[in-house]
Structure 1
Amino acid sequence: MAKKVKQSVVIKVKLKLHHSTDADLLNTMMQQYRNACNLVSQAFFDDHFRSNTQALTKRLYHQLRQDFHLKSQLAQSVVRTVMARYKAVETQLGDQPYCYPTDKKLPNGRPELVWVHRDCQWLWQPINFSQPHADLQRGRDWSFLSNGDLSINTLEKRIQVTPVCHGLQEYLAGEPITSAGHGFEQYLDGTWKFGVAKVLHIRGKWYLHIAMTKEADELQLSKNPKVVGIDRGLRFLVTTHDHQQQTTFVSGKSVQRKRAKFKRTREALQCKGTKSARRRLKKIGNRENRWMTDVNHCLSKTLVVTYGADTLFVLEDLTGVSFNRDDLPKALRNDNSSWAFYQLEMMLTYKAHRQGSLILKVPANYTSQRCPKCEVINKENRDHQQHQYQCADCGYRSNDDRVGAMNIQTLGQRYIAGNAKPRFKKPKSTKTTVA
């Protein structure tokens, strides 16, 4: 019997309010919910992260209802929201261990580095919830109505809003959905279950972000899947090398130009230091994040559509890898560390799984130093300035990003061949003694 796995997606539904007073009711609920989250976050921080969800709910439930006038379900949802945020932060900290040098030296003369795992104990202050929002439980705080509207519970009463999304009205009315199934309607086939919904007010518009889950058989690739090695960077956002020995480069020049423009604007506003400049800085930061998310979304979708089902996408495990480069120009020196490589990885993971493909993460050790022809590992073979790789042993020469993608693809092939943990190891140098 095939093992079942759970797939999760979040769909965004735009809302149309029926009355002007509905906006006030939603705003009040979201602000009180946000304030309650900050209270729970402070309590969890003061308790040194020892309490669990059940203990926090038991201790703060009545205070949340009395101080913020929350209903029973919302009071419990506040604690779950805070605990979920701390769990996500702890995962992010675990993926970025702290590194510091010791007094000892390695055989090559470099200082020995110590990596320390990080968790929530590294936080100096509690997590702050700044954006008003509210997490609504399906069936209690929000539900569908037979006329196609949504019923949302507020602190005072339930209100009706109209979702602006194609296919939903036909689904609720029991009518056949005639669209191609590339939008919201693809989740209305009966296999997806509606879950928690987050109500948000973004740039003057109301949205409901609905979590949906689906159980499916665990994906199994064929014996000879397509193996695609993916090298991530900034000069080329991704460089792929596939099973047909074809290499594809996705240029990042336009991305670098736009990021440089954002940076110049931020620096000019920071020099002013006025209140209006700070408001403008916040708007620009949000705009840059939305643009960055869209770039990664389009890029991950293109990769999945291009290679199709039964593909093994191989990525480097960048956990604990430092991207700071002293050989880059000053304007681009920190771009590597600020680009959302992890976001691209997450988007590619869930999109590939839905398409019938899988993601494999392999160690990044020596992927840019190994010659894909003679397999000799030599750091000096790579020229960062010219973006070239030339092997001193066999003379093989190619683009350094292409060499990285080729080596990553090689690790994927070894995984398919039966090596559960493929990685490159540099052979120990042997010294000969002349008598």
Structure 2
Amino acid sequence: MTTLGRTAKVRLYPSEIQAIQLADESQEYQRLATIVSEWVFNHDFPMNYLKINHALYKKFRQESPLNSQMIQSVFRTVVARYKTVLEQMRQHPFRYQDETKEWVKTPKDLTWLFKPVHFSRPQADLVRQSNYSFVDGMTKISLTTLGKRTKMSFTNRDFEQYFQNGWKLGTAKLVHAQGKWYLHIGITKEVADFESTKETKVVGIDRGLRFLATIHDHLGKTLFFDGKKILRKRKKFQETRRQLQSKGTKSAKKRLKQLAQRENRWMTDINHRLAKTLVSIYGSRTLFVLEDLTNVTFNTDNLSKALRNSHRSWSFFQLEFFLSYKAAAIQSKVLKVSPAFTSQRCPQCGLIEKANRHHETHEYHCCQCQYRSNDDRLGAMNIKLLGEEWLRGIKHPKIKKVTAIG
């Protein structure tokens, strides 16, 4: 079985008094989290919240209006944040050149931090039943505040599905954004694992900018998801950002922040819709095959200067994440394969030759067998081939270079 994890976002509608109560609670939670973070930083980063509890619980209970459960939640929140930071540091080791000019990687841990992790925004993590619950026939939500619990209305559009079909509601995060209150609830569900059968559909996906995704499927059909409109819109975002940065005023900086948030929401929506479309088209028992783009540097020579930053910053990994969990929900799977030579191999004769790909015309022309194809389509075909090899039992399929012309 596989555990699916999602975040359900619920809009809250507190009264003026309730909004003040929520603000006071989240600010107090933030204050305690900052104190705990400093304690963790000064005591060699203990990652067991029970040790923190032993050192700080009695003090907090005497000084803070937060109840016992909320204080325990503060400890867990801080430990979780440090574990996230630790994982991020492990993924980005320190690189330097030694005396022989060889590049050496040194793993990083929390001792590399110069200062404690800072909790800059008011927040609160709420445990279901203890700190929040749905009442009055699931029409209202009851929340813990610094005083007594309070009931308020919430947006229940499309939310009722999570009360059934095996979903379990977990810890929720209280969020205040742009004058509105939200509850981000972690939800999980157990689903059957992906199992390959004779009916398994293999779909190769080549990601890019000119085409967001080029698909080559089990039926030999190719789908192109055009990215030109998106490139033009990104160019407008970049131009607006450049103009605001040149002003340097306080209002311009505020608008820059709003612009970044809007662009992120737009990019997230695009990736969500693309992942949803792919899952809808191919359904269950599908193996979606993607290139592993970790540490891959893209060639931007054939892009205009205005679009080179788009190629570096486009959220390829976000699409991968969305597709992975949407596929798992319907007993499908996302497989990552080596990107080596996927854009250079001829699918007809197997020759690998870099010069066969012509970036200016977006065409692949094999000098040996004269096979011609769109270069993005060719990449998707080779990615699909690696997925088929994985189904045949090859754990780490990879295209091996063959240059001899037979």
In the TM superposition, residue 366 of structure 1 has moved relative to its aligned partner by: 1.6
In the alignment, the residues of structure 1 paired with residue 297 and residue 61 of structure 2 have an alpha-carbon distance, to the nearest angstrom, of 46
> 1:345 aligned to 2:320?
yes
Structure 1 contact 33–68 (Cα < 8 Å) conserved: no
The residue that corresponds to 1:169 in the other structure is none
In the alignment, the residues of structure 2 paired with residue 339 and residue 60 of structure 1 have an alpha-carbon distance, to the nearest angstrom, of 43
Q: Measured at CA, do residues 46 and 409 of structure 1 come closer, stay the same or move farther in structure 2, by a change above 3 Å?
A: farther
Match of 2:140 among 124, 141, 149: 149
Secondary structure of residue in 2 paired with 1:355: coil
- Unaligned 5+ segments in structure 1 are 105-110, 167-182, 430-435
In the alignment, the residues of structure 2 paired with residue 165 and residue 257 of structure 1 have an alpha-carbon distance, to the nearest angstrom, of 36
5 Å-filtered alignment, 1:27-42, equals 27-42=23-38
The residue that corresponds to 2:124 in the other structure is 134
Structure 2 contact 350–402 (Cα < 8 Å) conserved: no
> 1:303 aligned to 2:278?
yes
Q: Which amino acid aligns with 2:71?
A: A
The residue that corresponds to 1:281 in the other structure is 256
> 1:11 aligned to 2:1?
no
Match of 2:72 among 59, 72, 76: 76
Structure 1 contact 324–334 (Cα < 8 Å) conserved: no
In the TM superposition, residue 22 of structure 1 has moved relative to its aligned partner by: 0.4
The residue that corresponds to 2:303 in the other structure is 328
Q: Which amino acid aligns with 1:11?
A: A
In the alignment, the residues of structure 1 paired with residue 44 and residue 362 of structure 2 have an alpha-carbon distance, to the nearest angstrom, of 48
Q: Which amino acid aligns with 2:124?
A: A
Match of 1:26 among 22, 28, 40: 22
In the alignment, the residues of structure 2 paired with residue 226 and residue 158 of structure 1 have an alpha-carbon distance, to the nearest angstrom, of 51
Match of 1:160 among 151, 156, 170: 151
Q: Measured at CA, do residues 119 and 227 of structure 1 come closer, stay the same or move farther in structure 2, by a change above 3 Å?
A: farther
In the alignment, the residues of structure 2 paired with residue 381 and residue 58 of structure 1 have an alpha-carbon distance, to the nearest angstrom, of 66
In the alignment, the residues of structure 2 paired with residue 314 and residue 35 of structure 1 have an alpha-carbon distance, to the nearest angstrom, of 45
Please say which of residues 157-166 and 345-354 is displaced more in the overlay. 157-166
In the alignment, the residues of structure 1 paired with residue 317 and residue 63 of structure 2 have an alpha-carbon distance, to the nearest angstrom, of 39
In the alignment, the residues of structure 2 paired with residue 91 and residue 323 of structure 1 have an alpha-carbon distance, to the nearest angstrom, of 25
In the TM superposition, residue 79 of structure 1 has moved relative to its aligned partner by: 2.6
In the alignment, the residues of structure 2 paired with residue 403 and residue 68 of structure 1 have an alpha-carbon distance, to the nearest angstrom, of 63
Please say which of residues 308-317 and 79-88 is displaced more in the overlay. 79-88
In the alignment, the residues of structure 1 paired with residue 250 and residue 115 of structure 2 have an alpha-carbon distance, to the nearest angstrom, of 25
> 1:250 aligned to 2:225?
yes
Q: Measured at CA, do residues 389 and 87 of structure 1 come closer, stay the same or move farther in structure 2, by a change above 3 Å?
A: farther
**1:274-326 C-alpha deviation (Å, 9 max, x unpaired):** 11111111111111111111111111101100111111001111112223634
Q: How many residues align?
A: 404
Please say which of residues 38-47 and 276-285 is displaced more in the overlay. 38-47
In the TM superposition, residue 382 of structure 1 has moved relative to its aligned partner by: 2.1
In the TM superposition, residue 101 of structure 1 has moved relative to its aligned partner by: 7.3
Please say which of residues 287-296 and 199-208 is displaced more in the overlay. 199-208
CA RMSD of aligned residues (A): 2.7
In the alignment, the residues of structure 1 paired with residue 108 and residue 354 of structure 2 have an alpha-carbon distance, to the nearest angstrom, of 30
**1:105-153 C-alpha deviation (Å, 9 max, x unpaired):** xxxxxx9866666655565554433332211001111112235321100
Structure 1 contact 41–126 (Cα < 8 Å) conserved: yes
**1:316-374 C-alpha deviation (Å, 9 max, x unpaired):** 11112223634432211122221111111111111111122111111112212222222
Q: Which amino acid aligns with 2:314?
A: W
In the TM superposition, residue 81 of structure 1 has moved relative to its aligned partner by: 2.0
Please say which of residues 125-134 and 259-268 is displaced more in the overlay. 125-134
Q: Measured at CA, do residues 54 and 382 of structure 1 come closer, stay the same or move farther in structure 2, by a change above 3 Å?
A: farther
> 1:421 aligned to 2:404?
no
In the alignment, the residues of structure 1 paired with residue 12 and residue 347 of structure 2 have an alpha-carbon distance, to the nearest angstrom, of 54
Match of 2:362 among 387, 411, 414: 387
In the alignment, the residues of structure 2 paired with residue 122 and residue 385 of structure 1 have an alpha-carbon distance, to the nearest angstrom, of 46
In the alignment, the residues of structure 2 paired with residue 393 and residue 118 of structure 1 have an alpha-carbon distance, to the nearest angstrom, of 49
The residue that corresponds to 1:219 in the other structure is 194
Q: Which amino acid aligns with 1:396?
A: Y
Secondary structure of residue in 2 paired with 1:309: coil
Secondary structure of residue in 2 paired with 1:76: helix
Q: Which amino acid aligns with 1:84?
A: A
Structure 1 contact 5–216 (Cα < 8 Å) conserved: yes
Structure 1 contact 138–194 (Cα < 8 Å) conserved: yes
In the alignment, the residues of structure 1 paired with residue 203 and residue 45 of structure 2 have an alpha-carbon distance, to the nearest angstrom, of 41
Q: Measured at CA, do residues 308 and 117 of structure 1 come closer, stay the same or move farther in structure 2, by a change above 3 Å?
A: farther
Please say which of residues 408-417 and 137-146 is displaced more in the overlay. 137-146
Structure 2 contact 6–187 (Cα < 8 Å) conserved: yes
Q: Measured at CA, do residues 94 and 422 of structure 1 come closer, stay the same or move farther in structure 2, by a change above 3 Å?
A: farther
Q: Which amino acid aligns with 2:307?
A: L
Match of 1:402 among 359, 369, 377: 377
Q: Measured at CA, do residues 427 and 375 of structure 1 come closer, stay the same or move farther in structure 2, by a change above 3 Å?
A: closer
5 Å-filtered alignment, 1:356-395, equals 356-395=331-370
Structure 1 contact 352–358 (Cα < 8 Å) conserved: yes
In the alignment, the residues of structure 1 paired with residue 281 and residue 341 of structure 2 have an alpha-carbon distance, to the nearest angstrom, of 28
Secondary structure of residue in 1 paired with 2:28: helix
Q: Which amino acid aligns with 1:162?
A: S
In the TM superposition, residue 256 of structure 1 has moved relative to its aligned partner by: 1.1
Identity percentage of aligned residues: 49
In the alignment, the residues of structure 2 paired with residue 116 and residue 234 of structure 1 have an alpha-carbon distance, to the nearest angstrom, of 34
Secondary structure of residue in 1 paired with 2:329: helix
- Unaligned 5+ segments in structure 2 are none
Structure 2 contact 206–215 (Cα < 8 Å) conserved: yes
In the alignment, the residues of structure 2 paired with residue 216 and residue 45 of structure 1 have an alpha-carbon distance, to the nearest angstrom, of 39
